[in-house]
Amino acid sequence: MPRGDLFPDIAPYETGLLPLSHSGHGTPGGPSHVMYWEQVGNPRGQPVLFLHGGPGAGAGAVHRRFFDPLHWRVVIFDQRGAGRSRPLGELRENTTPHLVQDIETLRRFLGIDRWLLFGGSWGSTLALAYAQAHPERVAGCVLRGVFLGRDDEVEWFLYGLKRVFPDAWASFAEHVPPAERGDLLGAYLRRLTDPEPAVHMAAARAWSNYEGLCSTLLPSPETVASFAQDRSALGLARIEAHYFAHNLFLPPEGLLAGMHRLAHVGAEIVQGRYDMVCPPTSAFELAEAWPMARLTVVPDAGHSALEPGVRTALVSAVERFRRR
């Protein structure tokens, strides 16, 4: 699809691999997580942190293009087990508190005092979790396709989407035997963690294909193809199922209960009216709980950040923070 409203393609000016075991997460015999990170744009610019979705989806080159490289110092990283971080698809020592601490580890490593947070879908969840834990480090938030990690949101993804995408859901459900379809999450998690590649990769492709098919307002073969790539599919499906099975490793009271910590933090929320993966209810409830937030509803868009109206709204939201 044309993407002329994004900034031109750009390469990082710095990349690296940051070991995370030294930060206190490691346990004897546990995995040695290594985080991929990169910096793009103006080394002396205003810092902004890009938080990818999933959990487990990883970041891509197109995500650099939401930011004016002359102004922003853009930091992008792949979360534990995702994308170019290693080990790919690793679930041990992979929780939301780990990811929040990883962000702090990266911030200190790069010598950044405060940064703008930019995240969509699961990236919005992680942005809120980090901001509530470290509000003094957050200059503002740009959030898209809000996901608050609540039980009804997970249930909607697993079963509710059948009401709108019955064909996509049928393919998703038919990957497991009929006797197991009453617990699709458990059935998929067993397969996604099976040591046999033929088992876990087939499940990963089925899960990721389902999410890709439901992510845009109109059919987008390009979007589905990006979800179906083996690296993307394994990280996304395995880690997403793992997080879903553990209530996203969020506090029992939920993220809305912690919004008082962000009373002084400005925010831009962009939501597709026809977002079926993360329906708009959550974005509206978040905006209601956040007096400093501005909500933009894109009338002709689904979930994907690359929907034409969504990406235009996101670039505009970032530019408003630039002028503040």
Residues assigned a catalytic role: 121, 275, 303
Spatial contact of 59 and 76, defined as CB atoms under 8 Å apart: yes
Q: Look up residue 217 and give its two tokens.
A: 């307002």
For helices 221-228 and 230-245, give the axis angle rounded to 10 degrees: 80
State the residue for tokens 């997403």.
240
Q: Which residues pair with 40 in a beta bridge?
A: 74
Alpha-carbon distance of 257 to 14, in angstroms, equals 38
Q: Report the DSSP beta bridge partners of residue 140.
A: 116
CA dihedral 38, 8, 316, 131 (to 10 degrees): -10
Q: Which helix (H) or strand (E) element contains residue 101? A: helix 96-110
